[in-house]
């Protein structure tokens, strides 16, 4: 569980003449845990030097009033099956390894795969005042429709307005707390769900994922143009399944044809952030729900480039 500070539940503190007064938001905390929360906070504060008496009061606040998120990255593509969820998961894992507080908002309502990659099946907890995201093994906050379903293979048969409402709720009613980065895994295409994210959420920028095929190139350009028309910054592009390294020789084989990386970067007016190979080990770990165990030079280079472009140090 994240700390009260990480969840941004501490609203005010005052210490005067040995008396400490703490106001905590009770957002998303079930009623039966309120007394426990107050006792824990009082016990921690009472250990501070000079504090003789502690009073802890609970106050109401909405999750969106408490959420403080430094950077928000949307991972998108015009076509399904290119690896958006994979890239979202790898980026989140990389941020977590650097000691950053990170979350994943899974906006792919009808085709969620994030919980499977992270080996999650616990339901989100909370109360009438908010929802607590599920934590992965490395502490990544994750909110996904699949975590709310009776079973992971249950179909979500919704029209666009319902999906848009769910995404808005994931943004406004989930207690994300303080995060260095929130990564949003978008569904493919340029329909209601991506439109809702780009309109409702203050996106720092989008990353477009594609594979080398000609057909994919044409469709992905539509997603890039969507972001550009909505005045959302395109941070860069990532080519997934770019090549396969032959174990016998170490040579790179371009299974799906020559790389389209530079062409896509030019079309987006943003840098090529990375080229990810086809890696059977990565596929195995994702199937086993252990994506957080994966590391490679390609992912490290990708993460370095993403951080650089977020900090304005890498241009297209």
Answer yes or no: is 50 within a domain: yes
Q: 3-class SS at 10? A: strand
Maximum distance among all Cα pairs of the chain, rounded to whole angstroms: 73
Q: How far is CA 76 from CA 26, 188, 207, 311, in A?
A: 34, 7, 6, 20
Q: Where are the beta strands (DSSP E) in 144-275?
A: 178-185, 205-210, 234-239, 244-245, 252-253, 272-275
How far apart are alpha carbons 280 and 5 in whole angstroms? 40
pLDDT of residue 157: 85
If one compares 127 and 80, the residue with the highest pLDDT of the two is 127
User: 50 with 157, same domain?
Assistant: no
Dihedral sign for Cα 243, 246, 249, 254, please: negative
274-285 mean pLDDT: 96
Say what the pLDDT of residue 97 is.
97
Global pTM reads: 0.94
Read off the CATH number of the domain in which 75 is found.
3.40.50.300
| Tens digit of each residue's pLDDT (9 = 90 or more) over 25-69 | 999 999 999 999 999 999 999 999 889 999 999 999 999 999 999
pLDDT band at residue 219 under the 50/70/90 scheme: confident
Judged by phi (left if over 0) then psi (alpha if -120 to 50, else beta), residue 189 lies in: left
Answer whether residue 78 is part of any domain: yes
pLDDT of residue 151: 84
Task: Give the confidence band of 189 by pLDDT, cuts at 50, 70, 90.
Answer: confident
Q: Is the pLDDT of residue 170 over 80?
A: yes
- What does pLDDT average to over the chain? 93
160 vs 106, higher pLDDT: 106
Q: Are residues 27 and 176 in the same domain?
A: no
With respect to residue 203, please indicate whether it lies within any of the assigned structural domains: yes
pLDDT in tens, 117-133: 999 999 999 999 999 99
CATH assignment of the domain containing 19: 3.30.300.130
Residue appearing with tokens 């062409």: 263
Over residues 173-195, the mean pLDDT reads 94
pLDDT-derived band at 314 (thresholds 50, 70, 90) equals low
- One domain for residues 159 and 228: yes
**pLDDT higher than threshold 60 for residue 316:** no
Same domain, yes or no: 75 and 50? no
Q: Which band of pLDDT confidence, cut at 50, 70 and 90, is reported for residue 315?
A: low
Mean pLDDT in residue range 198-216: 91
Q: At what angle do helices 214-229 and 261-268 cross, to 10 degrees?
A: 20
Q: Could you tell me if 90 and 26 lie in one domain?
A: no
**Into how many domains does the chain fold?**
2
Q: How far apart are CA 250 and CA 157, in angstroms?
A: 45
- What is the token pair recorded at 221? 């350009």
Percent of the chain with pLDDT over 70: 99
Q: Are residues 190 and 290 in the same domain?
A: yes
Which residues constitute the domain of residue 45? 10-61
């Amino acid at each position: 569980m994240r700390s009260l500070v990480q969840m941004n539940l501490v609203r005010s503190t005052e210490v005067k003449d040995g008396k400490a007064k703490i106001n905590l938001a009770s957002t998303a905390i079930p009623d039966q845990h309120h007394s426990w929360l107050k006792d824990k906070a009082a016990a921690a504060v009472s250990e501070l030097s000079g504090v003789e008496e502690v009073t802890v009061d609970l106050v109401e606040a909405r999750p969106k009033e408490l959420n403080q998120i430094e950077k928000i990255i949307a991972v998108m593509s015009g076509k399904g099956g290119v690896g958006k969820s994979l890239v979202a998961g790898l980026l989140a894992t990389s941020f977590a390894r650097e000691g950053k507080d990170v979350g994943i908002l899974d906006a792919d309502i009808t085709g969620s795969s994030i919980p499977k990659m992270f080996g999650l099946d616990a339901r989100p907890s909370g109360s009438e005042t908010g929802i607590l995201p599920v934590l992965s093994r490395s502490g990544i906050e994750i909110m996904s429709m699949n975590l709310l379903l009776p079973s992971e293979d249950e179909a979500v048969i919704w029209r666009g307005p319902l999906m848009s409402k769910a995404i808005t709720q994931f943004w406004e009613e989930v207690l994300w707390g303080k995060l260095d980065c929130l990564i949003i895994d978008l569904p493919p295409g340029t329909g209601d769900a991506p439109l809702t994210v780009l309109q409702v959420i203050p996106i720092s920028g989008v990353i477009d994922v594609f594979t080398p095929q000609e057909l994919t190139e044409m469709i992905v350009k539509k997603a890039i143009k969507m972001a550009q028309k909505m005045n959302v910054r395109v941070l860069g592009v990532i080519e997934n399944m770019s090549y396969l390294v032959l174990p016998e020789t170490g040579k790179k084989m371009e299974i799906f044809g020559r790389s389209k990386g530079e062409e896509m970067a030019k079309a987006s007016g943003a840098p090529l952030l990375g080229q990810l190979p086809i890696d059977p080990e990565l596929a195995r770990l994702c199937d086993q729900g252990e994506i957080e165990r994966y590391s490679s030079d390609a992912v490290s280079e990708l993460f370095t480039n993403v951080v650089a472009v977020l900090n304005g140090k890498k241009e297209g």
